[in-house]
């Protein structure tokens, strides 16, 4: 039996403690070092791990995997340091705040032969797995339009780095990175893109974006619309996929993040099950409809796939080149929005 993968974790906030740590545990990874000032919290989650003060301390520990769950503007430099030290890296999205940063890191991973992957966990959401199944099984015919919205209603701007002016902040690079990755995973890169990115809660010149609307166009006539608003009450996720045979709709929210926040282990039989969280319909041209079978989400698949890649050289769950495509589309969307 192979020994657990010796792992170091940079950051112990929402991503590091609430999201990654339970998945690392369920996946059998051995976290030995955590960069954070929250030593007591680390001891609660990882009793055998050492809390260290600096990222250099993690590099010096020479782990078999380094998980980067720090603020977005730090990702590129920290990833570079790890790759240059020959340490495989899993980094929270976004890999970098510009396409240039991401391209350089993908090249560095290739030239050094050091594995690099990005935590695009939303590829294993219940709704996305359902979309993929419906397309693969021809349940709606040829896709002609996807509308994918991710909303929340928060009147006040929170005092946290994601909502303060600075590199890597804002809803677009946070949620948009997921929605763009999902669309490209389903349909490939678009032929053209147009975008609007704005703040609905503030007119201040330096206001951080909290809303976006992105349109993708494809040569075969397919259209994709991706959006988010911080002032939209109701279901967090609203999805519609139209096809030549039928349409499907879904609303609700994948349960995995709320379950992790509620300390439900990722290995629990209820983990990822959509009942009570996400529902959908299959709509026929004659007006008939039926309940849509929703897939069970499984973020743990990301980590089990990563373990296999590190141990046996099988494909990584998310490839660096895929992160490059997403980063380029983020840059193009920003350019489009700037011309409005």
CA angle 163, 75, 84 (to 5 degrees): 170
User: How many angstroms separate the Cα of 241 from the Cα of each of 154, 174, 257?
Assistant: 27, 23, 24
Confidence band, pLDDT 50/70/90 cuts, at residue 161:
low
**DSSP category for residue 72:** G
Does residue 94 have a pLDDT over 60? yes
Does residue 27 have a pLDDT over 70? yes
Q: Do the Cβ atoms of 24 and 36 come closer than 8 Å?
A: no
Phi, psi of 289 (to 5 degrees): -150, 160
Q: What percent of the chain has pLDDT over 70?
A: 98
What domains sit in the chain, N to C, each tagged with a CATH number? 6-120+302-316 (3.40.50.720), 122-297+329-338 (3.30.360.10)
Kindly report, residue by residue over 287-334, the tens digit of the pLDDT. 999 999 999 999 999 999 999 999 999 999 999 999 999 999 999 999
- Could you tell me which of 335, 340, 327, 334 has the C-alpha nearest to residue 101? 327
The pLDDT assigned to 152 comes to 81
**DSSP category for residue 293:** P
Does residue 110 have a pLDDT over 60? yes
| Average pLDDT of the segment spanning 3-27 | 95
Q: Which value, to the nearest 10 degrees, does the dihedral of the CA atoms of residues 217, 223, 229, 234 take?
A: -170
Kindly report, residue by residue over 230-241, the tens digit of the pLDDT. 888 888 899 999
The pLDDT assigned to 102 comes to 98
How would DSSP label each residue in 14-71? IIIIIIIHHHHHHTT-EEEEEESS-HHHHHHH-TT-EEESSHHHHHHH--SEEEE-S-
Query: At a CB cut-off of 8 Å and minimum separation 6, what does 269 contact?
Result: none
pTM: 0.95
| Average pLDDT of the segment spanning 65-75 | 96
Confidence band, pLDDT 50/70/90 cuts, at residue 1:
low
| Average pLDDT of the segment spanning 254-258 | 97
Q: Which value, to the nearest 10 degrees, does the dihedral of the CA atoms of residues 133, 324, 12, 3 take?
A: 70
Query: At a CB cut-off of 8 Å and minimum separation 6, what does 169 contact?
Result: 72, 73, 161, 162, 163, 208
d(CA 131, CA 277): 16
Per mean pLDDT, which range of 44-53, 151-160, 276-285 is the poorest? 151-160
The pLDDT assigned to 182 comes to 98
Kindly report, residue by residue over 163-222, the tens digit of the pLDDT. 677 777 789 999 999 999 999 999 999 999 999 999 988 887 878 888 999 999 999 999
CA angle 103, 108, 110 (to 5 degrees): 100
Structure tokens at 44: 């609660």
CA angle 11, 52, 4 (to 5 degrees): 75
The pLDDT assigned to 293 comes to 97
Q: Do the Cβ atoms of 83 and 114 come closer than 8 Å?
A: yes
Q: Do the Cβ atoms of 215 and 248 come closer than 8 Å?
A: no
The pLDDT assigned to 231 comes to 83
d(CA 61, CA 93): 24
The pLDDT assigned to 159 comes to 65
Mean pLDDT of the residues in the chain: 94
Does residue 270 have a pLDDT over 90? yes
Per mean pLDDT, which range of 29-38, 94-103, 148-157 is the poorest? 148-157
């Amino acid at each position: 039996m192979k020994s657990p993968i010796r792992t170091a974790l940079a950051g112990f906030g929402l991503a590091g403690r609430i999201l990654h740590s339970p998945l690392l545990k369920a996946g059998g990874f051995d976290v030995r070092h955590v960069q954070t000032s929250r030593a007591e919290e680390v001891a609660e989650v990882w009793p055998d791990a050492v809390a260290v003060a600096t990222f250099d301390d993690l590099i010096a520990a020479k782990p078999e995997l380094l998980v980067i769950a720090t603020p977005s503007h730090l990702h590129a430099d920290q990833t570079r340091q790890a790759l240059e030290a020959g340490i495989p890296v899993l980094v929270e999205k976004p890999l970098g705040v510009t396409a240039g940063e991401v391209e350089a890191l993908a090249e560095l991973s290739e030239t050094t032969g050091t594995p690099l992957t990005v935590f695009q966990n939303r590829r294993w959401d219940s709704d996305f797995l359902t979309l993929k199944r419906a397309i693969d099984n021809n349940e709606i015919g040829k896709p002609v339009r996807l509308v994918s919205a991710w909303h929340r209603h928060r009147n006040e701007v929170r005092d946290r780095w994601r909502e303060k002016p600075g590199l890597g902040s804002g809803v677009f690079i946070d949620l948009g990175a997921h929605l763009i990755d999902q669309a490209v995973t389903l349909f490939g890169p678009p032929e053209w893109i147009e975008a609007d990115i704005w703040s609905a809660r503030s007119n201040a010149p330096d206001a951080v974006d909290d809303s976006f609307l992105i349109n993708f166009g494809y040569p075969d006539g397919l259209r994709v619309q991706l959006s988010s608003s911080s002032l939209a009450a109701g279901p967090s996720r609203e999805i519609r996929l139209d096809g030549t045979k039928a349409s499907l709709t879904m609303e609700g929210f994948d349960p995995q993040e709320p379950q992790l926040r509620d300390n439900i282990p990722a290995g629990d039989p209820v983990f990822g099950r959509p009942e009570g969280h996400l529902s959908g319909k299959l709509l026929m041209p004659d007006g008939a409809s039926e309940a849509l079978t929703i897939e069970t989400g499984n973020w743990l698949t990301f980590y089990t796939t990563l373990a296999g890649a590190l141990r046996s050289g099988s494909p990584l769950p998310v490839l660096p080149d895929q992160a490059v495509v997403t980063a380029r589309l983020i840059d193009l969307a920003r350019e489009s929005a700037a011309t409005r």
